[in-house]
Amino acid sequence: MTIKDNLLEILRELPDGVELEVAGKTRKPEEMLEAVETGATIIGENYVQEAERARALIGDRVKWHLIGHLQSNKVKKAVRLFDMIESVDSVEIAREIDKRCRQVGKFMPVLVEVNIGREPQKSGVLPERVEELVRAISAFPNVRVMGLMTIEPRSADHEGSRCYFKQMKNIFERIKNLALPNVEMRYLSMGMSDSYRLAIEQGANLVRIGSKIFRD
């Protein structure tokens, strides 16, 4: 199977209203270009530097999302490179994004990353802190919360993952129902190669898939 075959198979399978994000981690820009030429419209990058290289080849015919952890010293570059930042997990980083956006007259859609499995080594805000963080970010004029993102625990079995996705959907709906100003709960980004079907069943509308597309 080629990148093209893998991607077309996934695209055919996704229900209406679910968007695919191609996770480009460690892949060569040429491989990502093949995905784009096959019909990928969103690329998720973990690292600012990798995105810079890939974007130099592919350009702005696709949307670029940051899905990896963002350090404050990389925000300036990230603001220039990305169309969405999915990994916001603190007021401080949101404030820095807002500041850098204001300097260049840009406006950044963001997702709040949730550490749904409460894993100590992982980034993301704890489930009980999501609302507080969304409320705080809503005060920043050049940043707009557009939903939530999570990376579920790797160790979880099928039922475990389902349970995490369900919790995410509950948090998502609860915050959506608050109808906060400057918050538009549109995207629930969850599910990867081994879990996207389950995530979609539980309400994901943005899935991030890497290895299932790029493996041969």
Ligand X SMILES: *Cc1c(COP(=O)(O)O)cnc(C)c1O
State the nearest-atom distance from the C-beta of 120 to ligand X, in Å: 18
- What is residue 168's three-state secondary structure? helix
Q: Does 190 bind ligand X (CB under 6 A)?
A: no
* DSSP summary character for residue 125: B
Among 19, 33, 41, 46, binds ligand X (CB under 6 A): 46
- Under a CB-based contact definition with an 8 Å cutoff, are residues 6 and 210 in contact? no
Q: State the residue for tokens 């557009």.
A: 146
Q: Does 147 bind ligand X (CB under 6 A)?
A: no
State the nearest-atom distance from the C-beta of 71 to ligand X, in Å: 16
- Total residues binding ligand X (CB under 6 A): 12
Give the footprint of ligand X on residues 52-111 (CB under 6 A): 67
Give the footprint of ligand X on residues 166-185 (CB under 6 A): none
Among 7, 10, 20, 23, binds ligand X (CB under 6 A): 23
Q: Does 124 bind ligand X (CB under 6 A)?
A: no
Q: How far apart are CA 45 and CA 73, in angstroms?
A: 17
* Torsion on CA atoms 77, 80, 84, 89, rounded to nearest 10: 30
Q: Is 118 left (phi over 0), alpha (psi -120 to 50) or beta?
A: left
Interface residues with ligand X (CB under 6 A)? 23, 25, 46, 67, 151, 192-193, 208-212
